[in-house]
Amino acid sequence: MAPLQLTPIKASTSATPPDEYEPSQDRQAEDYQDDDDDYDSQDDEDDDGLNRDPDYDDGPLQSYAHVQRGQAQGASDSNMRHGFAEAYSSEEYLTVRPGSSERTSFVVMSADIFPSEYPVQALEKSYFLYWTETRHERAGLTKPPSSNPADHKIDWRNRDRIRTAAAVLVVCLRIGYDPPDVIKTDPCAKLECWVDPHALAKDKAMERIGKNLQSQFENLAATPKTRYKQYLDPPIEDAKKFCTAARKTAKNERVLFYYNGHGVPKPTPSGELWLFNKQYTQYIPVSLSEIVAWLGSPTIFVWDCSAAGNIVTKVQEFAIKRDAELAKEAAAAVAAANGHPQTPAADGSFPVPEAKPQIPTVPFRDTIQLGACLAHETLPMNPDLPADLFTSCLTSPIEIALRFFLLRNPLKMGQLDLDMLLKVPGKVNDRRTPLGELNWIFTAVTDTIAWNSLPRDLFQKLFRHDLVVAALFRGFLLAERIMRFYECTPISVPALPQTHNHPLWDSWDLAVDMCLAQLPKLLDHEKRWLDSLPPHPLMMPDQPAPPQPPGPPLPYEHSNFFSEQLTAFQVWLDQGAVSKRRHPEQLPVVLQVLLSQAHRLRALILLCRFIDLGPWAVNVALSIGIFAYVLRLLQAPASELRPVLIYIWARILAVYENCKEDLLKQTYPPTRTADLSPYTYFVNILHPSTNSQLPVSNVSEHRAMCRLPQVERV
């Protein structure tokens, strides 16, 4: 394709502070899953597929719990299955149902309800309640659930996850020059990374934009393992260099390739995007097939440009073609090695074998892509929106979500303006501040929407394997909601179901509304405090400014989002039907609530009630990512958490006995004492002196459950 000439134009004119042992929502995967890479565990079968005796008739008792009992209390340990040791005493009415002689089955009943048909017998023995009730085995299903383990098991340990190790940020703006195939409105969107490129000199504007873009990506997922490199208006000659350098840095890990094409023509339907020549006088096309080959696999692409659908489609085609080429080369190399054995030369040496083609660990067809719009669409030009609306949704979701809310509610413009939205007090990683709390709620909302909309394996791949990929897809859910409002459809590979109308977005709007209602008061409070500070002494220009003293607490009323979601979860536990094994929608919120000391105990108690529904509930809880949190909470010194943590761990170990190995790993920091390790947590509770440290009446039962994690040290 012939190069295009550049045409110059004129510039247009609630959370409560967490305790010191709480896990971090941004680093939980990094903290614990590193130790899981070498973890060898065997998949355990569910108890969900147990078949019921066809001769066993529920009759009028079908609405009551039918309990299949284990061995009596006097049985030997070798024959007794470790259950959760809830003993029924003689105060309860237990009886053997007539016609069930082949099974040791007991039914909880009342003499007032069944006065004559079923005689009540008081049993002197105690029977242990295991996960073999009807609700555990069948949950009221009329047909047995699938016996295929793939239908129930999820690799919640994420042993095959791949991190993003290197990132290439390509920005093609060429400030002052509009591409020939785009006709912009007047006025039109102009902000790039929240910087007005026409308010500064061209060089300084590009430098500021690149710096802000890299900062937004770095704050997206707080992991130091990803190395970001920005390339501002790069010439075509540098494309291969920075792509191959990124693959060399990442090795077998994932590479992020970000492309901002707001200053170049649209991608072509034949699969070409545009860069510049060295003199910046021509647009030069570069084939996507070359970029795919240079970057290798695995890779995640972010395309912020008009007609991004052309790129997404062609990258998929080139990826499939590249996989076929590598497979053919590998087969040819194997055939050549088997059919033509090497013979020594005259001097006795062997010829150097040809290098075998390198097969990537992840096929090219599994490349992840995020595109701003379809092939026939153009990016929004609303002057109230940033020009890089798609990038803003991905890398600064809170700022653009506040702006979107205010633009849709013009009645609030009397007290607020768009510039105030960039001044919300606080830090993103501090949940005690307004900005941090909004980010916390946003994470919970997007994770919950994704978990309730995506297949389990796809959710694990996109939201649990890699922190960078998870953060980008959270922003993509927001982009789908915002950009569809402006008649622009974001596209992704793998494709996601539509989530822009999910009802949980209403809860997010309520949290945003409550925050913005307090914003004028918060900004006024912050301004009065800054005015009260003494003026800074005179300093040299190159001397850094002294740090500001911490300000007084903000008069901020925290959101009740999490408490309301916990209440909804409690209603599901009390009233929800478990007959169809439908999981509660609020379960990902419970995971985020564990980060807050204020709601942690309530969340753990509700989690205990949920996993008590059976092994299927344990699998669901582990698939959402609860394991790393409850493992870290074993380091918390709070005595009120001990009973619920013992309860949760007893049920996890009943389903996954190999999790005992995790309790032997040293997950606590080296500066801490050994008595805070996961293994000794249960050992210390078994000590007689700790009876008073368990705030429950049935201390003996909790001490008995502490026997489950005991394993022999090697």
State pLDDT tens for residues 238-279. Answer: 999 999 999 999 999 999 999 999 999 999 999 999 999 999
Q: What is the pLDDT of residues 298-346, one digit of tens each?
A: 999 999 999 999 999 999 999 999 888 888 888 877 777 676 555 555 5
pLDDT over threshold 60, residue 707: no
* Cβ 388 vs Cβ 306: under 8 Å: no
In the block, tokens 């490349």 appear at 367
DSSP state letter for 22 = P
Q: How confident is the model at residue 227 (pLDDT cuts 50, 70, 90)?
A: very high
- pLDDT score of 283 more than 80: yes
Residue 655 has pLDDT above 90, yes or no: no
- Confirm if 618 and 153 have CB atoms less than 8 A apart: no
pLDDT (tens digit per residue) in 34-75: 444 433 333 333 333 333 333 333 333 333 333 333 333 433
**575-603: per-residue pLDDT in tens?**
876 555 678 899 999 999 998 888 999 99
Q: Say if residue 190's pLDDT is above 90.
A: yes
Interval 391-445: pLDDT, tens: 999 999 999 999 999 999 887 777 888 889 999 998 888 899 999 999 999 999 9
Q: Give this prediction's pTM.
A: 0.76
The answer to whether 585 touches 448, Cβ cutoff 8 Å, is yes
Better pLDDT: 535 or 207:
207
- Tell me: the pLDDT tens digits for 360-384? 778 899 999 999 999 999 999 999 9
Tell me the β-bridge partners of 100.
none
- DSSP track, 160-179: T---EEEEEEEE---TTB--
Under the banding of pLDDT at 50, 70 and 90, the label for residue 673 is: very low
What domains are defined for the chain?
58-137 (no CATH), 162-333+361-493 (no CATH), 559-705 (1.25.10)
Lowest pLDDT segment from 335-344, 349-358, 521-530: 349-358
* 403, 406, 410, 415: CA torsion to nearest 10: -110
The pLDDT score that the predictor gives to residue 382 is 94
Strand partners, 300: 256, 368
The answer, yes or no, to whether residue 686 has pLDDT greater than 60, is yes
pLDDT tier, 225 (very low <50, low <70, confident <90, very high otherwise): confident
